[in-house]
Structure 1
Amino acid sequence: MVEEHVMEFTEPTSDKLLPDLHPQEQHVFTLVLDLNETLLYTDWKRERGWRTFKRPGVDAFLEHMAKFYEIVVYSDQMNMDLSKLNRDPAKILYVSAHAFESSLQPENCVPIKPYKLETDDTALLDLIPFLEYVARNSPADIRQVLQSYERKDVAKEFLERSKEYQSNE
């Protein structure tokens, strides 16, 4: 009885959280971004209350990625279920500081270092080359690409692979 009442507030009201894509947009990848500790950091102190801080580079990151992706922002979903997005799972990337802990589809996850107010943080900007490469090359299934990174730092690993590829040419 209590569980049913709680589910009314915690479960999505629909199995389709996003509307259908237009037929001409079926090729577009969806970039799902976690809000907390990925794009923002929220802090509470007794003397000043709640404060929210944007991660360095978030504006430039969002502006640039909007040229290539359908962008979806999630906030604090206990169990992120990407299947509810009404999108092809082969075309969804989920960027989060807690990706593997919170997603029911770890094969779609792009982990990023949690943002904790470091002024020299470049993690979002460092992901741009990889995300742009994915968007421009449109792999048939992004999950296979992400699997090749084996939960490593995707931005760093992509940079190393790119350098290695260029030196072999």
Structure 2
Amino acid sequence: MDNPSIITQVTNPKEEEILSCTQDKVSQCNISLKKQRSRSIFSTLFCCFRDYNVDPPSTNSTSALPPLVEENGGLQKPPAKYLLPELTASDYGKKCVVIDLDETLVHSSFKPISNADFIVPVEIDGTIHQVYVLKRPHVDEFLQRMGELFECVLFTASLAKYADPVADLLDRWGVFRARLFRESCVFHRGNYVKDLSRLGRELSKVIIVDNSPASYIFHPENAVPVQSWFDDMTDTELLDLIPFFEGLSKEEEVYTLSSVSFGEVTPIRSATLDLPVTLYTKDNHE
């Protein structure tokens, strides 16, 4: 298993620009070859953004999981139960917020980072590799407040051998009631999709916070997209989102704050922030 396959990330635009400039200096043949190699590497490293126009699985049944979306022409065997345990008494009445890890809360790299917040050893094929982890600005405040307002679940397409120790260091307050990793995703058309219907929670009370549109293509109406974060220490997106979630926690269902105009998605804005946060409605999705 190679290093990139451990972590599922999106591409850093700065790295794409550097790669593009370098490729312009070589022959067209070499450019083609490098692009093919790049795809083979990044296909395991990144969630690919494609095939978003898909129909979500049926959610009519509440007693059993719906069939998994087909993978490579076949059907995956459904798990025996929902992904999440029964709701605890302390979380009763709260909405469930599914939070992504990489480029949403942290950025990780196998290349040394001088100002890394964590260095996590990961064993790959008998060799220990160091993963350097940067925390997104204001992630501590964000997680603590979210833990007060919601039932929080970490859901990442990365492998547990990397993501679990990172979560141990990141979540010092026990905010995440559960942690879900790559094996809990549905592999659909080259993407690791987080199928919210498999959680065991009422969909009208589930929100997903994720930088990758591929992760929530089955349930875009439940998504609060965030910008991918790599190393900008002036970033305030997580801090800016707190008032929005404080308001959402008081609503009956997550679709309440959505709005549609002539069938098009309209960004919603916090009452206290000039911050567009796109939520989609069921009517628009259908």
Q: Which one of the candidate residues 80, 86, 90 is aligned to 2:200?
A: 86
Distance 1:15 1:3 in 2: 23
Q: Deviations over 1:46-70 (max 9, x none)?
A: 8995311111111111111111100
Distance 2:136 2:221 in 1: 25
> Counterpart of 2:265?
150
Distance 1:58 1:71 in 2: 14
- How much is the aligned-residue C-alpha RMSD, in angstroms? 3.2
Q: Which one of the candidate residues 252, 257, 267 is aligned to 1:140?
A: 252
Structure 1 unpaired stretches of 5+:
162-169
Quick one: percent identity of the two aligned structures? 30
Distance 2:104 2:80 in 1: 26
> Counterpart of 2:235?
121
Distance 1:119 1:25 in 2: 33
Residue pair 2:91, 2:151 contacting (<8 A) in 1 also: no
Counterpart mapping for 1:14-163 below 5 A: 14-22=80-88, 25-45=91-111, 50-76=131-157, 77=185, 78-98=192-212, 100-103=213-216, 104-135=218-249, 137=250, 139-147=251-259, 150=265, 152=267, 157-158=269-270, 159-160=273-274
Aligned letter for 1:117? D
* Residues matched between the structures, number: 151
Structure-1-length-normalised TM-score: 0.75
DSSP-derived class of the 2:148 partner = coil
Distance 2:132 2:84 in 1: 30
Distance 1:147 1:43 in 2: 38
Shift of 1:102: 1.6
DSSP-derived class of the 2:257 partner = helix
Shift of 1:40: 1.0
Residue pair 1:110, 1:146 contacting (<8 A) in 2 also: no
Distance 1:151 1:42 in 2: 33
Structure 2 unpaired stretches of 5+:
1-70, 114-128, 158-184, 186-191, 276-286
Residue pair 2:112, 2:132 contacting (<8 A) in 1 also: no
DSSP-derived class of the 1:125 partner = helix
Shift of 1:111: 0.5
Residue pair 2:106, 2:135 contacting (<8 A) in 1 also: yes
DSSP-derived class of the 1:60 partner = helix
Q: Structure 1 residues 117 and 18 mapped into 2: Cα distance closer, same or farther (>3 Å)?
A: same
Q: Structure 1 residues 43 and 144 mapped into 2: Cα distance closer, same or farther (>3 Å)?
A: same
Residue pair 1:107, 1:147 contacting (<8 A) in 2 also: no
Residue pair 1:111, 1:151 contacting (<8 A) in 2 also: no
Q: Deviations over 1:43-102 (max 9, x none)?
A: 23289953111111111111111111000011114111001111110111100111x322
Quick check: which has more Rg, 1 or 2? Answer: 2
